[in-house]
Amino acid sequence: MSHLTLVSNRLPIRINEEGEVERTTGGLASALAGAGIPGSFTWIGWGGVNEEDIEDREDYEKKLKAVGVKPVILETDEFDAYYEGYSNSTLWPMLHYMKDRARFDPEWMEGYRGVNQKFAEVVAKEADQDGEVWIHDYHLMLVPKMLRKLRPDLKIGFFLHTPWPSSEIIRALPERNEILEGLLGCDVIGFHTYNYLRHFRSCLLRILGIEGESEGLWHGDRMVRMGVYPIGHNSIGFQEAMQSDTYREALALHKKRLDGGKLILSVERLDYTKGVPEKLDAIREFLKKNPEQRSQVNFVIIAVPSRVGVEEYNLLAETVQREVGAINGDYGEVGHSPVQFLHRGFPMEELAAFYALAEVCMVTPIIDGMNLVAKEYIDCKRKKYDARAGVLILSEFAGAAQEMSHSLLINPHDTQGVVKAMEQALAMSEDEMWSRVRAMQDRLARNDAGAWARHFLGDLDASGTPEHDPAAHETLAEVEANLTKHLAAGRKVALFLDYDGTLRDFVDRPEDAVPDASLLNLLERLAAHDSLNLAVISGRPKEFLESHIGHLPIDLVAEHGYYWKRLEVGEWELMNPHVDNSWMETVRPVLEWAVTLTPGSEIEVKTSSIVWHYRQADPEFGLWRAKGLLDELTAITASLPVSVHHGQKIVEVASQMVNKGVAADSLMRDWMPDIAFAAGDDQTDETMFAITPVCEDHFHTVKIGTGSTRAEHRTSIKGLRRFLESLADTLSQQS
């Protein structure tokens, strides 16, 4: 694996009061500490202090370099706009479905954009040639595209540690396009769950009009892979912590303080996404309904301070502390307060002791990207470390819920449901508790932080190979060299080119996909060479081809081979006058009904085919309808002489007696070239790739875009255009 550069908003260090560097224990830092990433790596991020507060910048950077980190140094104003502003007051609530909490300020976006550019520039300077870069979280979603421009040699990965919400939320973000396009600068984009990936794909489709598969999509000349990588916890770190003297001392101390009582534990960052007020509502209701438990249970809420100094979070802390006091006032007894609110962090050894002692751990966020507390709690339930049996109560809206099915899953908004889960947990036998714990521990052991990092970095390392990124290596240089060698020797070359999706991008209205001046000039330059024969073989009606490229000295094939216009004849003819199109009477009503059911769709009736277009329909509904229509048409046309295929935003039914392969084969037999080349993007072009060529040398076939194919090469529309332009330039030089 190449040298790795890790990039995150915050470095895993801080400068202490003595001016020395200390490691921190944030969520990302903790996960990566347990990941055991092989080889050396550099960590780039903000160091916790701004430029105005750094007395000696050279000394500051030197200290950080000694521990393998490189700071991005920011001024206070730009940090505030980027971090407190756009990242945490705009993106954070939006990503967590809390649109009503989001604030939109154009100046914040300017700050976010500027800081992301600074990060990209530092990474571009520090990263090794052909190295790998792993960018983390929502603070830096513009960096991939920026970095791609500065360092196209790098492999760039991005992992999102929060949820990715539905497109209805993201569409409200004014900068939605820029954010999505920024992420598409990656080679690999990772999410905690498939739901988040699915929502991201939906956003690309609905906002940018980019359709992809679950595993990825083509963007320009690159394959952008998308994957699900549920992050694991630092299992190694917690196992080591539980072997320490500090752990044993904390375990003994807290066990003594509990004095036989039961511990119901909560550990979370104090944030409005974590559902602490809702948790307190459930605790109040539990104590009200179960008076006999009031002296026996100890609710301990460890709330790590979050964004101290921000008014909204200060108000949340005050609200929580006030309600804790009210509950203790209503249900406490002399010498016993049922709820203890500890507004501070704890070292890993003492946290492990809390986990080991707790009969119940309540992880009840309103929404959470993953939540490692749930995994840490279960992992610390080890008899060899004197842990008690325990039960995990887990919000179904935490990403961890998909992996931890043996927990008691709850809806944090359902107060009575949470209370019932507490009652069930406290009444559960130890045997059942341990059975549930063991079932979840087996999975956690296979999917800790190390497995998470290895999985993601393995996919990043593999990106750009022929299996993952066909466009990255398909420059078609060898094909061009082969063709030009034949032309230089006076031998004959044939080119067969599809139009839509091959020579020209798709657009919402097919009639708008007219050739631009540069494409017309390119075709004319190619056709001018005496030894080169060129044909455009398209599904377009002959009227469209005649209107837009009929003046060029090239052969034209319309409607997939129903009509053709050969240079030697000069007018349109039927390729096969014996084609039977009586099947249309059966098929047309089905497609017309699909138009009725699908707003924005329409049918196009050609001489030998009927096409259902859904480019202007709702993208996801249109795709769903297309798949159902494909099944229906396949069934009703089983005995008819037609083929049915699903293309780019179309479903087409065409005569089996007409296809591009027959047209290409007929032209090739007329021309008898020494070498030939064919390019196309969809299923109709596969018939060209499948013909048995009559040329003496080689028949080069090229698939444009993704999907299975018989073609031997693969590239993009831009890649093909570059190839043809380079070929035309070479021919001009030869002449």
**Cα distance between residue 444 and residue 449, in whole Å:** 9
**Could you tell me if 355 and 392 are in contact, meaning their C-beta atoms sit under 8 angstroms apart?**
no
**Cα distance between residue 194 and residue 200, in whole Å:** 10
Identify the H or E element spanning 143: helix 143-150
| Contacts for 335 with CB less than 8 Å, ≥ 6 apart | none
Looking at 230-358, list the stretches that DSSP marks H as alpha helix, in order from N- to C-terminal side.
235-241, 245-258, 276-289, 311-331, 348-357
**Cα distance between residue 173 and residue 166, in whole Å:** 12
Cα torsion through 31, 32, 35, 40, rounded to 10: -170
**Cα distance between residue 360 and residue 262, in whole Å:** 8
**Cα distance between residue 105 and residue 391, in whole Å:** 44
- Distances from the Cα of 103 to the Cα of 100, 112, 317, 687, angstroms: 8, 14, 21, 54
**β strands within 623-710, DSSP E:** 642-647, 650-655, 675-680, 699-704
**Cα distance between residue 36 and residue 45, in whole Å:** 20
- Distances from the Cα of 535 to the Cα of 210, 482, 497, 566, 606, angstroms: 29, 19, 6, 9, 21
Q: Strand 188-191 relative to strand 222-228: parallel, antiparallel, unpaired? A: parallel
515: its two tokens: 């050739």
170: its two tokens: 């993201």
**Cα distance between residue 233 and residue 719, in whole Å:** 43
**Could you tell me if 184 and 173 are in contact, meaning their C-beta atoms sit under 8 angstroms apart?**
no
**Could you tell me if 186 and 153 are in contact, meaning their C-beta atoms sit under 8 angstroms apart?**
no
304: its two tokens: 């790590």
Strand order in the sheet with 188-191: 69-71, 41-46, 4-10, 132-136, 155-159, 188-191, 222-228, 216-219
CA-based end-to-end distance of the chain: 47
Q: Which of 281, 498, 500, 555 is catalytic?
A: 498
Is 498 a known active-site residue?
yes
Task: Report which residue type is found at 322.
Answer: R
Strand order in the sheet with 642-647: 602-605, 609-613, 650-655, 642-647
Strand order in the sheet with 262-269: 339-342, 297-304, 262-269, 360-363, 391-395, 408-410
**Could you tell me if 101 and 93 are in contact, meaning their C-beta atoms sit under 8 angstroms apart?**
yes
The β-bridge partners of 191 are 228
CA angle 468, 473, 474 (to 5 degrees): 105
Q: What is the chain's alpha carbon radius of gyration, rounded to the nearest angstrom?
A: 32
- Distances from the Cα of 696 to the Cα of 669, 677, 692, angstroms: 12, 13, 11
| Contacts for 698 with CB less than 8 Å, ≥ 6 apart | 482, 675, 676
Q: Is 222 helix (H, G, I), strand (E, B) or coil?
A: strand
- Distances from the Cα of 36 to the Cα of 448, 450, 717, angstroms: 11, 6, 41
Q: Strand 391-395 relative to strand 360-363: parallel, antiparallel, unpaired? A: parallel
Cα torsion through 82, 86, 91, 92, rounded to 10: 70
Burial label, 55 (beta-carbon count in 10 A; 0-12, 13-18, 19+):
exposed
**CA nearest to 413, candidates 282, 251, 538:** 282
Catalytic residues: 498
